[in-house]
């Protein structure tokens, strides 16, 4: 046991951060002989604990430490921006992380964090641990982040002020309409925080990205090439995806929605969900409900109470509002769609739904975790981005990978029901949708190949393991 490398992972709040961290931990433990401890920062410990138990029930030796929920309302006041709340939550968790690592024997030799966890790097270096960043998103976003500290300011000005595409060496440019929000708020705390995180990331001993070479070959090449983006980072970049939750084979016997799906024709159901944090306005919920009716397609819809002008309104409150969900649907909606649709309040077993043979389409906010779950099950998508880097994801899915149709509506207003119905029919009934499902199945096969023992993602983790073992053998751990 003492000779095994010990990795510590720090997962910031949100299922999109927790799931990839848990899946990476499982892979390091089962395929690369690591001791692994996962530290989970959350404001919703019951939901996190439930997911972790389901995901790791067959791995009792995986050490999971769930920190007590953090309340940052005294520092930030009511309704703070998502990024500010994430940042302060991580800061408040650092003393718990420090004391936990200090008490461990053997001490971890590497700390792996997501983009919100780089604040822990000084502590890791105090303990002489290697520092790694796990990008829980695609390589294109990783490239934009890594390039930020060295970007040509004139180019950035042209992007922000004149709406020209943002050019990233070796990569597809980022259209202005799909750019990251921090670029549009230069001089503010959001931009400065993003820039500081980017500077920390390029100083890390290694970078892990939740993608694989065949999914983003051009961007992967740019990040590995020392003459392009690879020359910016201190350590190597490893492509280790897809890191997605596997299907619970026992879930079909437990969940009503899965039993309902058993009775539906193959690829006849469209699944509608905006992730663990995504929310719509009351007007948009109404339009979506009518749009699903107009589409005349079978559906499963995860519904949450509306939040006005806050697309990430459920990010920290995943379980709140379950009882009120149905109150926001149009009168008679449930009665009219009985037998055609299934409405699920707040949360559904997404991996199991997307893996069900009756599901042929997915209306998604384009969070990277949801995107990968759709791809690895060969499901076509309706791309409906809400916040963070989701517009970049939607652009890649529709314009480059051609596995999604993008939902578009009037600026600053709800997408109308007629557009929703039309787009859903395109994905579910027209030749375009069939072509997208075929393309998604090709990507599904390439993902499976990448994760195999001789695949590129598996070999990337082998190289990372050797890096950690060399660090341990050189006696650099406190």
| pLDDT at residue number 312 | 57
Given the residues 32, 44, 114, 159, the one annotated as active site: 114
**pLDDT class of 317 with cuts at 50, 70, 90:** low
Query: What average pLDDT score do residues 430-445 get?
Result: 96
| Annotation says 17 is catalytic | yes
Angle, in degrees to the nearest 10, between helices 431-451 and 368-375: 100
3-state secondary structure of 263: coil
Q: 252 or 242: whose pLDDT is higher?
A: 242
Given the residues 6, 17, 32, 159, the one annotated as active site: 17
Query: What average pLDDT score do residues 116-145 get?
Result: 97
pLDDT at 145 exceeding the cut of 70: yes
Beta sheet of 380-383, edge-to-edge order: 341-345, 298-303, 269-273, 359-364, 380-383, 404-406
Query: What average pLDDT score do residues 10-34 get?
Result: 94
Phi, psi dihedral angles at 215 (to 5 degrees): -80, -40
**pLDDT class of 478 with cuts at 50, 70, 90:** low
Q: 49 or 467: whose pLDDT is higher?
A: 467
Task: Tell me the whole-structure pTM to 2 decimals.
Answer: 0.94
pLDDT at 21 exceeding the cut of 50: yes
pLDDT at 25 exceeding the cut of 60: yes
Residues 206-234: tens digit of each pLDDT: 999 999 999 999 999 999 999 999 999 99
| pLDDT at residue number 51 | 72
| pLDDT at residue number 61 | 82
- Nearest Cα neighbor of 14 from 79, 74, 76, 90 is 90
Structure tokens at 390: 């989701």
pLDDT at 321 exceeding the cut of 90: no
Query: What average pLDDT score do residues 395-424 get?
Result: 95
Residues 373-392: tens digit of each pLDDT: 999 999 999 999 998 899 99
Cβ burial 419-443 (10 Å sphere, 16+ → b, else e): bbbebbbbbbbeeebeebbebbbeb
Any residues with CB less than 8 A from the CB of 412 and at least 6 apart, and which? none
| Annotation says 255 is catalytic | no
Q: Mean pLDDT lowest for which of 100-109, 206-215, 312-321, 399-408? A: 312-321
Query: What average pLDDT score do residues 279-287 get?
Result: 94
| pLDDT at residue number 310 | 65
| pLDDT at residue number 1 | 45
Average pLDDT, the chain: 90
- Nearest Cα neighbor of 340 from 255, 433, 268 is 268
| pLDDT at residue number 393 | 97
Q: Domains of the chain, with CATH numbers? A: 6-245+452-473 (3.40.50.2000), 251-445 (3.40.50.2000)
């Amino acid at each position: 046991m003492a000779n095994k490398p010990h990795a510590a992972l720090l997962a910031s709040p949100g299922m999109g951060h927790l799931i990839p961290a848990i899946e990476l931990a499982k892979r390091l433990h089962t395929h690369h002989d690591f001791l692994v401890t996962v530290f989970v920062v959350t404001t919703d410990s019951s939901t996190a604990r439930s997911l972790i138990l389901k995901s790791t029930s067959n791995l009792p030796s995986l050490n999971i430490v769930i920190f007590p929920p953090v309340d940052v309302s005294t520092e930030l006041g009511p309704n703070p921006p998502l990024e500010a709340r994430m940042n302060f939550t991580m800061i408040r968790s650092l003393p718990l992380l420090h004391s936990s690592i200090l008490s461990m024997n053997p001490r971890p030799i590497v700390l792996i964090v997501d983009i919100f966890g780089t604040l822990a790097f000084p502590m890791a270096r105090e303990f002489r641990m290697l520092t790694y960043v796990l990008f829980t998103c695609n390589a294109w976003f990783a490239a934009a982040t890594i390039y930020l500290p060295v970007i040509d300011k004139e180019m950035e000005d042209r992007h922000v002020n004149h709406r020209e595409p943002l050019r990233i060496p070796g990569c597809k440019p980022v259209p202005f309409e799909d750019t990251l929000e921090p670029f549009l708020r230069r001089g503010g705390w959001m931009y400065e925080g993003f820039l500081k995180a980017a500077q920390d990331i390029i100083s890390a001993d290694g970078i892990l990205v939740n993608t694989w070479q065949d999914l983003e070959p051009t961007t992967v090449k740019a990040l590995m090439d020392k003459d392009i983006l690879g020359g910016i980072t201190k350590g190597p970049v490893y492509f280790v995806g897809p890191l997605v939750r596997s299907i619970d084979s026992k879930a079909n016997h437990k969940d009503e929605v899965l039993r309902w799906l058993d009775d539906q024709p193959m690829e006849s159901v469209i699944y509608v969900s905006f992730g663990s944090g995504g929310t719509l306005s009351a007007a948009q919920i109404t339009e979506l409900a009518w749009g699903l009716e107009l589409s005349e397609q079978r559906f499963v819809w995860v519904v949450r109470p509306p939040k006005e002008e806050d697309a990430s309104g459920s990010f920290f409150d995943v379980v709140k509002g379950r009882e009120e969900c149905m109150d926001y649907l149009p009168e008679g909606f449930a009665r009219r769609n009985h037998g055609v649709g299934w409405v699920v309040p707040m949360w559904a077993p997404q991996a199991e739904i997307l893996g069900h043979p009756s599901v042929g389409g997915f209306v998604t906010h384009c969070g990277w975790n949801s995107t990968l779950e759709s791809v690895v099950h060969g499901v076509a998508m309706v791309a409906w981005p809400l916040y963070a880097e989701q517009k970049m994801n939607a652009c890649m899915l529709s314009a480059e990978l051609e596995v999604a149709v993008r939902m578009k509506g009037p600026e600053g207003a709800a997408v109308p029901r007629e557009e929703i119905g039309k787009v859903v029919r395109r994905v579910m009934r027209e030749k375009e949708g069939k072509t997208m499902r075929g393309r998604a199945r090709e990507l599904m096969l390439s993902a499976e190949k990448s994760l195999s023992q001789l695949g590129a993602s598996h070999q990337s983790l082998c190289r990372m393991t050797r890096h950690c073992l060399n660090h341990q053998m050189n006696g650099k751990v406190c």
